[in-house]
């Protein structure tokens, strides 16, 4: 198996010993991204705005790997306030993903000063 790291400047830099994405065996696996704007470091207010920023961060990694949201097959989402924020998060999420939607797991998590974190798996186009 070969694997290739994705490291780009237009997505938040890793905060530890990991990469923004890894390409292996025809798939892209992304790190869990928070809602930091990569240019300013700012975090927007509210779960909808944070979800959109997280997905823009993921989109940058998808693009670097030659993929789009249409290629995403699996999404894992962590919400700080699962019951309170799910509906608003879900509305913002649907702005990015075409049908058929990928499979998704959404859980409540104790996040560090953010409301949402998301990672994806994408099948890369041949």
Output the DSSP codes for 56-80. HHHHHHHHHTT--GGGEEEEEEEET
How many angstroms separate the CA atoms of 21 and 24, rounded?
A: 10
Two structure tokens written together for 41? 């470091």
Range of the domain at 76: 3-123
How many angstroms separate the CA atoms of 44 and 38, rounded?
A: 12
The model's pTM is: 0.96
Say how many CA atoms lie within 13 Å of 78 toward its Cβ: 15
Two structure tokens written together for 81? 């306030």
Question: Could you report the per-residue pLDDT of 12-43, keeping only the tens digit for each?
Answer: 999 899 999 999 999 999 999 999 999 999 99
Order of strands, sheet of 21-24, starting from the edge strand that comes earlier in the sequence: 3-6, 21-24, 27-30, 116-123, 72-79, 103-108
What pLDDT is recorded for position 124? Answer: 97
CATH of the domain at 45: 3.30.1330.40
Taking residues 38-55, what's their average pLDDT?
A: 97
What pLDDT is recorded for position 100? Answer: 97
Number of compact structural domains in the chain = 1
What pLDDT is recorded for position 72? Answer: 98
Question: Could you report the per-residue pLDDT of 55-111, keeping only the tens digit for each?
Answer: 999 999 999 999 999 999 999 999 999 999 999 999 999 999 999 999 999 999 999
Q: Which of 68, 52, 57, 66 is nearest to 115 (CA)?
A: 52
What pLDDT is recorded for position 126? Answer: 80
What pLDDT is recorded for position 1? Answer: 80
């Amino acid at each position: 198996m070969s694997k290739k790291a994705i490291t780009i400047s237009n997505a938040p830099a890793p905060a530890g010993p990991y990469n923004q994405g890894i390409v292996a065996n025809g798939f892209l696996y992304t790190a869990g991204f928070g809602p930091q704007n990569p240019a300013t470091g700012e975090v927007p207010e509210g779960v909808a705005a944070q979800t959109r920023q997280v997905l823009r961060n993921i989109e940058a990694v998808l693009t670097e790997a030659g993929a789009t949201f249409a290629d995403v097959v699996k999404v894992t989402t962590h919400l700080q306030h699962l019951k309170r924020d799910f509906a608003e998060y879900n509305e913002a999420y649907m702005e990015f993903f075409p049908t058929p939607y990928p499979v998704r797991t959404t859980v409540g998590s104790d996040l560090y000063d953010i409301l949402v974190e998301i990672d994806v798996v994408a099948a890369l186009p041949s």
